[in-house]
């Protein structure tokens, strides 16, 4: 798909990865970008249109659809992470909020804008997923669950929208150097690099983006078991059923079909 001259909407476009997506779209020649944010962002570039958009608010979404009838690219970037374990959390509040934003909010955006994308020739819809869409990091178990739900949803939306010619792209990354991962002392990919890989995928018509493939392959392979970080909190892991490394078929995450296909 040609991004030059296109019109895009980026959710959570005010900071972090969303801001990098906005810049990458500008660099690729987008004509107009709606910068979705919970609080109206200040913009200086005339190609940027601030848009009040909380993706968990049905009225905001309806107003956005009315205003953004000209988009042919939707980037569902907005997301939350509370670092809550599944059993150890004091309540299920964080788990519910993560599902509300990462899964239901993103699904609501896909449903609301599917007709707009259709009327504008199909276009592209990008959902910002994570490596923890594929395995549960006990340090933030409920976030992993929400990203797994978002991944499954993305796969279903892709099939449903194929007939209208919409490219549905899932983007997977490990830690990204934004506010969300500020407390994590681990290697991180630059948000600009994630955005650049995603733009390349839209142009090439690719449905899956492993945004930091080298990191994923080495880091995930090293972590085939839950382990403790220096701060004592469990880090990325993948449990084998018996608790023995490699005892489960496909327990090495580098055997993930995506990594094997794309390496």
Sites of contact with ligand NAP (CB under 6 A): 11-12, 14-18, 37-39, 53-56, 77-81, 101, 105, 128, 130, 173, 175-176, 178-181
Residue for token digits 């296909």? 261
List the structure tokens of 129: 């997923």
Residue 32 or 38: the one with the smaller Cβ distance to ligand NAP is: 38
Residue 59 or 241: the one with the smaller Cβ distance to ligand NAP is: 59
Least separation, in Å, of the C-beta of 144 and ligand NAP? 11
Residue 162 or 214: the one with the smaller Cβ distance to ligand NAP is: 214
List the structure tokens of 92: 């299920």
The Cα–Cα gap between 127 and 123 comes to 14
β-sheet bridge partners, residue 172: 210
Least separation, in Å, of the C-beta of 181 and ligand NAP? 4
Least separation, in Å, of the C-beta of 172 and ligand NAP? 8
Find out whether 86 and 142 touch, Cβ atoms under 8 Å: yes
Least separation, in Å, of the C-beta of 203 and ligand NAP? 21
Least separation, in Å, of the C-beta of 183 and ligand NAP? 10
Find out whether 179 and 15 touch, Cβ atoms under 8 Å: yes
Residue 72 or 154: the one with the smaller Cβ distance to ligand NAP is: 154
**Alpha-carbon distances of 165 from 1, 6, 19, 69, 255, rounded to whole Å:** 11, 16, 27, 17, 31
Least separation, in Å, of the C-beta of 97 and ligand NAP? 9
**Alpha-carbon distances of 81 from 16, 35, 48, 101, rounded to whole Å:** 13, 21, 27, 10
Residue 43 or 122: the one with the smaller Cβ distance to ligand NAP is: 43
Residue 77 or 235: the one with the smaller Cβ distance to ligand NAP is: 77
Find out whether 81 and 140 touch, Cβ atoms under 8 Å: yes
β-sheet bridge partners, residue 128: 171
């Amino acid at each position: 798909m040609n991004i030059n001259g296109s019109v895009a909407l980026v959710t959570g476009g005010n900071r972090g990865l969303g801001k990098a997506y906005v810049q990458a779209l500008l660099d690729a020649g987008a004509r107009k970008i709606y910068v979705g944010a919970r609080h109206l962002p200040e913009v200086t570039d005339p190609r940027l249109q601030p848009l009040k958009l909380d993706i968990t608010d049905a009225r905001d979404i309806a107003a956005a659809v009315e205003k953004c009838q000209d988009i042919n690219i939707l980037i569902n970037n907005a997301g939350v992470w509370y670092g809550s374990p599944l059993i150890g959390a004091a309540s299920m509040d964080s788990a519910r909020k993560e599902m509300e934003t990462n899964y239901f909010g993103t699904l609501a955006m896909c449903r609301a804008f599917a007709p707009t994308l259709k009327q504008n020739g199909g276009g592209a819809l990008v959902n910002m997923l994570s490596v923890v869409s594929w395995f549960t990091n006990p340090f933030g178990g409920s976030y992993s669950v929400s990203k797994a739900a978002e991944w499954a949803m993305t796969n279903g939306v892709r099939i449903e929208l194929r007939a209208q010619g919409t490219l549905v792209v899932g983007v997977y990354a490990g830690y990204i150097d934004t506010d969300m991962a500020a407390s994590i002392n681990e290697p991180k990919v630059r948000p600009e690099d994630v955005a650049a890989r995603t733009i390349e995928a839209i142009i090439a018509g690719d449905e899956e983006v492993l945004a930091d493939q080298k990191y994923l392959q080495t880091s995930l392979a090293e972590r085939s078991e839950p382990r403790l970080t220096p701060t004592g909190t469990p880090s990325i892991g993948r449990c084998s059923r018996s608790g023995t490394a490699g005892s489960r078929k496909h327990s090495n995450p580098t055997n993930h079909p995506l990594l094997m296909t794309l390496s």
